[in-house]
């Protein structure tokens, strides 16, 4: 009897081992460090949504020295999170990235200025020092300045001086710039936490100014989409990821705690991550993961109007840069 029991137990373990081995590996490369900007993916992993889809997902944090576009072309990831500007720029330069899903329906990029500097509207930008993020985030700024007729080399007193800004609010807090780049879910709160009140700020949102562009989307290499097995993995990955995003929207405190649990650096604080989850939820709200072609066209328009002779984002209308094939199956 004991022998039969052992045989049965061994058989069960063998079946379980086969099931465990059957999970398909997927590596996701994030655009930035572990934080609530990516809560949906961490939630999907923590709550078992990927496992339910037969996936074993590895989430790789990004950082200032990590370009997701380089990681995926080097074989270090199956899918990446990046902004549309970076994705389209890489595509034009020979890295055939394709947007397969767009969890962020709207963007959080904005400009904050201190009222005490005398800035009340874009008419007051001339002669100011503007903090600008680069690495693909500068294109909306250049498009906006071009529409205002403002030079950006600092040589013209009727133009603006560009300060290459690190990913923090320090230039405004320390008085190094009149205006800086912020995200609604991150640096803006750093300004407030530094003791500057919202009433002391003037805020310009790129979307409201007509120069918005799609931010965090999911991108893969075009050639990989020719593989039916890879496409099937991405369908399951997107479905589980969007389930994670919706769970994060509805369970913000738990989502923030999950992000903290996954922060190997120990640099993140729960209060700030909870704030971020709430603000990011405003950007993912209304998205089922499928890219809106109108939002795509707005992004392309912004990038084509960005004046940067040294490093233009794109110089022509992209072709084949996005697909609904994955989300159509994932949402059915």
Asked, for residue 27, whether it belongs to a domain, the answer is: yes
Asked, for residue 40, whether it belongs to a domain, the answer is: yes
Asked, for residue 11, whether it belongs to a domain, the answer is: no
Last residue of a domain, one of 154, 183, 209: 209
Number of domains into which the chain is organized: 2
Asked, for residue 5, whether it belongs to a domain, the answer is: no
pLDDT score of 222: 98
SS3 of residue 314 by DSSP: coil
CATH at 170: 3.40.190.10
Residue 83 and residue 129 in one domain: no
Q: Nearest to residue 234, comparing CAs of 196, 250, 226? A: 226
Residue 150 and residue 249 in one domain: no
Residue 276 and residue 323 in one domain: yes
pLDDT score of 310: 63
Q: For 255-284, what is each residue's pLDDT tens digit?
A: 999 999 999 999 999 999 999 999 999 999
Domain that holds residue 312: 23-105+214-330
Last residue of a domain, one of 209, 234, 257: 209
Find out whether 132 and 164 touch, Cβ atoms under 8 Å. Answer: yes
pLDDT score of 21: 56
Compute the half-sphere exposure of residue 266: CA atoms within 13 Å on the CB side of its CA: 0
Q: Which helix (H) or strand (E) holds 301?
A: helix 293-304
Is beta strand 24-29 parallel, antiparallel or unpaired with respect to 55-60?
parallel
Asked, for residue 14, whether it belongs to a domain, the answer is: no
Find out whether 306 and 312 touch, Cβ atoms under 8 Å. Answer: yes
3-state secondary structure labels for all residues of 104-165 = CCCCCEEEEEEHHHCCCCHHHCCCCEEEECCCCCCHHHHHHHHHHCCCCCCCCCCCCEEEEC
Asked, for residue 243, whether it belongs to a domain, the answer is: yes
Residue 175 and residue 235 in one domain: no
pLDDT score of 15: 42
Residue 218 and residue 311 in one domain: yes
Residue 97 and residue 227 in one domain: yes
Last residue of a domain, one of 187, 209, 231: 209
pLDDT score of 136: 74
SS3 of residue 201 by DSSP: strand
Q: State the angle between helix axes of 270-284 and 252-261 in degrees (0 to 180), rounded to the nearest 10.
A: 120
pLDDT score of 4: 44
Q: pTM here?
A: 0.89
pLDDT score of 269: 95
pLDDT score of 16: 45
Residues of the chain with pLDDT under 70: 1-21, 155, 308-311
């Amino acid at each position: 009897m004991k022998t039969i029991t052992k045989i049965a137990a061994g058989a069960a373990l063998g079946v379980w081992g086969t099931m465990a081995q059957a999970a398909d590996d997927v590596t996701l490369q994030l655009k930035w460090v572990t934080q609530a900007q990516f809560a949906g993916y961490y939630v999907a992993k923590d709550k078992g949504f990927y496992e339910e889809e037969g996936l074993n997902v590895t989430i790789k944090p990004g950082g200032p020295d990590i370009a997701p576009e380089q990681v995926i072309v080097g074989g270090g990831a199956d899918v990446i999170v990046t902004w549309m500007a970076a994705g389209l720029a890489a595509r034009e330069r020979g890295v055939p990235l394709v947007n397969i899903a767009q969890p962020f329906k709207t963007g959080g990029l904005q400009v904050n200025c201190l009222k005490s500097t005398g800035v009340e509207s874009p008419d007051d930008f001339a002669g100011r020092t503007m903090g600008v993020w680069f690495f693909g985030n500068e294109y909306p700024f250049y498009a906006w300045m071009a529409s205002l007729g403002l030079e950006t080399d600092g040589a013209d007193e009727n133009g603006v001086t560009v300060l290459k800004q690190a990913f923090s609010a320090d230039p405004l807090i320390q008085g190094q710039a009149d205006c800086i780049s912020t995200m609604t879910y991150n640096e803006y709160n750093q300004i407030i936490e530094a003791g500057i009140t919202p009433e002391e700020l003037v805020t310009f949102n790129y979307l409201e100014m007509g120069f918005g562009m799609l931010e965090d989307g999911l991108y893969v290499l075009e050639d990989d989409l020719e593989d039916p097995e890879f496409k099937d993995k991405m369908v399951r990955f997107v479905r589980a990821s969007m389930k994670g995003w919706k769970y994060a929207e509805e369970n913000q405190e738990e989502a923030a705690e999950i992000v903290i649990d996954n922060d190997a650096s120990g640099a993140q604080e729960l209060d700030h991550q909870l704030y971020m989850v709430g603000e990011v939820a405003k950007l993912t709200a209304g998205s089922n993961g499928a890219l809106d072609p109108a939002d795509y066209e707005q992004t392309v328009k912004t990038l084509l109007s960005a004046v940067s002779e040294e490093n233009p984002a794109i110089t022509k209308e992209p072709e084949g840069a996005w697909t609904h094939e994955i989300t159509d199956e994932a949402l059915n």
